Structure 1
Amino acid sequence: MTTKYNTIIVGTGPAGLTAAIYLARANMNPLVLEGPEPGGQLTTTTEVENFPGFPDGIMGPELMSNMRKQAERFGAVFKSGWVTRTDLSQRPFKLEVDGFGELQAETIILSTGASAKYLGIPGERDNVGRGVSTCATCDGFFFRGKKIIVIGGGDSAMEEANFLTRFASEVRVVNRRDELRASKIMQDRARANEKITWSLNRTPVEVVAGGLGVTGLKVRNNETGEEELLETDGVFVAIGHTPNTGFLGGQIETDETGYIIVKPGTSETNIPGVFACGDVQDNKYRQAITAAGSGCMAALDCERFLEAHEAAHAFV
């Protein structure tokens, strides 16, 4: 028997959980599908100090746990499973989910986020939250007066390096090529910053850590083949993000990098009844608070769509 829902929310970061809170309070009984990383990137963050309402900060996993409990309190249902196939050609939409078979929904909210790209070198993943980060605006404050390395050569790396000079005593940019991919204006801005030093044509080999966290980055000189250890208190990996949209099979309109395109000022995608929120449609801000705000937008857009199509409360 196929189970049908008013709304299925795919993803459980700040955007998906906020949408779940709003829809559950409106008695829409949303189903929330959790992927392999429930809570999104915030579950790998230690202390969050820039989310309003927590003057002393809050641990990332705790914040996500609280948001989930809030959604459950109002009746949101959570299930864990991979979405393996989607059919968005007509309503009700169909999702094939590992462990549950086919699920149907009158509306879908996509909040699957974007995964930060990692180098895949030893010591990197083990030290996320202990000196390794992929978000300068999230974690830069914790490195006040310390040495930082930014890995990458694109615009995002230059932007993060410049931003981190507000806190760090020194920011070193490490790039495996001897040239940068960043736009000329971003390169010029970074090169003019006296706090930024450069280690170009160096390939990161290993993140080195001690008892209290990261202590250095081992790199290989691409010209000589020799390895050297760069002392640092933090490593910021800035080589881009990958939006989690592959499971949609090209049915939703995206930009050239895979981010979902929404109608300006809304969460509406190119398919009526399918909405997107959070980092999966935001390649600019990528903050917990902006993701949560877009989750609210998606829930309200979704609720109005259901009311307009007289589908609300038709399913479980």
Structure 2
Amino acid sequence: MTAPKTQQNIDQLCINTIRTLSLDAVQKAESGHPGLPLGMAPTAYVLWTKFMRYNPKNPKWFNRDRFLLSAGHGSMLLYSLLHLTGYDLPISELKRFRQLHSETPGHPENFMTKGVEITTGPLGQGFANGVGMAMAQEHLAAKFNQKGFPIIDHHIYCICSDGDLMEGVSYESASLAGHLKLKNLIYFYDDNSITIDGSTDLAFSEDVTKRFESCGWHVLVVDDGNDLKAIEKAIKDAHRIKDKPKLIRVKTIIGFGMPKAGTSKAHSDAPGEEAVKETKRNLGWDENKHFYVPKEASAHFREAIKRGAKLEKDWEALVVKYEKTHGDLGKTLQETRKNKLPAGWEKSLPKF
């Protein structure tokens, strides 16, 4: 008789499911970036199963949390999560990773894949996109929220890399985010000390914590990217900070489990069949199974469907009460949800 799996067992099973799906997809495509998905899988798992508010069956729910992968080269991390949590992204599309006309392009594209919030790839761009989204969230909250009616209260989460932080646009947008005190912004820095060129010692040695603190951010540190309790605590602590954006530095090992983990060789390109098998053995996985999703992992991830449906239903019920109490604002909210501009909007345009 097989012993029942504990929550710790389920957690690790789910994390390794993300890792092996990502690994199999990159190997099948013979190109891609396996390093980030394997290193950041624990952080993404904790975020998506314990904190993020989303409805896989309605990716456009108005008050959903937004998740951005600024380090878009690690796209298989996002595609694995979308498939596992029940979005309309079948495993057949994971098998078509980086292929022409697939729903899993090499870098995420929001007009091609349901659940992808923003097209990312150029390093630093997604970082800035998130700041813009947080500004929009603050604007909508200021416009619509009333006492007892937190209609707009979603968060913007983002995973960024060393490469993102080396780009000027991330510095500029981080400065603005701190200046505006964008409190619903929580970023995860994949702090693995490796870039495609090699160690960050080659070209990136600044004190990232001091940099972001000087920009007005609150910085938290997770010393072990595989420590789920530490990751969960950091996110909880970030939620308690109500007056500024937050950066969580997660110290990870790029390509965790791979023979060349912790080196630039794990950053990109297909690792090879033998390396894939060795990685799976290191993770306690069946090396002969490809694109394998254990039923226990699937069941656990798919709880997001029921959870998300309830979150959206409860929010819609709040909106109904809001419309009865705040009639004009309620009407404007509905128009906003439909992307309708108010009558006479053109009169506000400047005249030159």
**Structure-2-length-normalised TM-score:** 0.28
Provide the TM-score with structure 1 as the length reference.
0.30
Greater helix share, structure number = 2
